[in-house]
């Protein structure tokens, strides 16, 4: 009897503990979902095969005949695809789509080159508010640095209000003060961008099942909230859905037995930075 009670008690602790981990540790939930979900998911269209990439770039990947390709692997990297509308520089309403990485927290500026923003990940981690972004965007539009009175003039706010905003950004380590100047606390920041991803051709998605997906680092809600804070009151997300970028892991076997792995974007056929995985 006591053994049965002890067993039930232990099961209760494990169940409650597992429930807490599932709801409070997104990395665990993402890991499990990515591997047991059989309902399928949507991917961006593969426009370059692994064979095409290996043939095109054989000269740079294979140094000589003693180097050889191993069998490539197809992985899927998570993004949020948002249909948006916003007020453009001319004052009219513009519509477009944004691809935003759920792994790096950065927005894709151009799908042809896979050029990305830099600094939004820090803003997510710091829980940057809309007023924080008013400071950050203004600094970004002025080469990253402005004096206090110039900031107040461009933002059309009183100095006491501005000081509150500046204190918030400093506490979140988003800006630093140097003498009378305030500057962005990012290396090579890129925050002042149009709220849409440049596309040469329409993105196509298709359903896919039973493939290895890279875990999300950020939730859909976090990215949507960040975009709304970053792009102001006139920015609206009309629709959003999670999609996956097909990525080839191409491995070269070296003569000494070591292996060199590189990652390639199957949408545009270009290499991706290894640090994103």
Q: What is the pTM of this model?
A: 0.81
Both ends of the chain: CA-CA distance in Å? 51
Q: Are 107 and 100 in contact (CB under 8 A)?
A: yes
Q: How far is CA 208 from CA 62, 96, 205, in A?
A: 32, 25, 9
Mean pLDDT for the stretch of residues 11-36: 55
Classify residue 257 as left (phi > 0), alpha (psi -120 to 50) or beta.
left
Residue written as tokens 């076997």? 253
Write out pLDDT tens, residues 67-117. 999 999 999 999 999 999 998 877 789 999 999 999 999 999 999 999 999
Write out pLDDT tens, residues 115-161. 999 999 999 999 999 999 999 999 999 999 999 999 999 999 999 99
Dist CA 242 CA 82 (whole Å): 9
Dist CA 146 CA 150 (whole Å): 6
Beta bridge partners of 236: 85
Check whether 36 has a pLDDT greater than 50.
no
Dist CA 11 CA 185 (whole Å): 48
Write a three-state SS string for 213-275.
Answer: ECCCCCCHHHHHHHHHHHHCCCCEEEEEEEEEEEEEEEEEECCCCCEEEEEEECCCCCEECHH
At residue 247's C-alpha, the angle toward residues 246 and 253, to 5°, is: 150
Write out pLDDT tens, residues 247-274. 999 999 999 889 999 999 999 999 997 6
Higher model confidence: residue 59 or residue 33? 59
Rounded to the nearest 5°, which phi and psi values hold at 170? -70, -40
Residue written as tokens 């140097």? 178
Dist CA 212 CA 14 (whole Å): 28
pLDDT band of residue 27 (cuts 50, 70, 90) is low
């Amino acid at each position: 009897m006591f053994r049965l009670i002890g067993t039930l008690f232990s099961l209760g602790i494990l169940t409650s503990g597992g429930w807490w981990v599932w709801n409070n540790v997104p990395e665990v939930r993402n890991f499990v979902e990515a591997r047991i979900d059989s309902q399928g998911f949507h991917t961006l269209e593969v426009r370059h095969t692994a064979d095409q990439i290996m043939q095109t770039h054989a000269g740079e990947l294979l140094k000589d005949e003693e180097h050889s390709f191993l069998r490539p692997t197809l992985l899927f990297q998570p993004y949020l695809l948002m249909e948006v509308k916003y007020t453009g520089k001319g004052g009219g309403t513009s519509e477009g789509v944004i691809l935003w990485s759920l792994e790096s927290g950065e927005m894709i500026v151009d799908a042809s080159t896979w050029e990305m923003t830099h600094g939004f990940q820090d803003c997510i981690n710091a829980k940057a508010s809309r007023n924080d972004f008013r400071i950050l965007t203004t600094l970004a539009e002025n080469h990253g640095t402005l004096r206090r009175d110039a900031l107040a003039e461009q933002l059309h706010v009183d100095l006491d209000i501005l000081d509150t905003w500046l204190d918030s950004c400093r506490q979140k380590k988003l800006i630093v003060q140097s003498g009378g100047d305030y500057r962005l606390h990012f290396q090579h920041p890129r925050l002042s961008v149009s709220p849409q991803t440049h596309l040469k051709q329409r993105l196509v998605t298709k359903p896919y099942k039973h493939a290895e997906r890279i875990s999300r680092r950020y939730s859909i809600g976090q990215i949507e909230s960040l975009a709304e804070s970053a792009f102001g009151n006139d920015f609206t997300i009309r629709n959003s859905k999670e999609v996956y970028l097909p990525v080839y892991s191409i491995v070269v076997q070296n003569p000494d037995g070591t292996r060199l792995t590189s990652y390639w974007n199957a949408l545009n056929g270009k290499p991706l930075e290894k640090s994103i995985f």
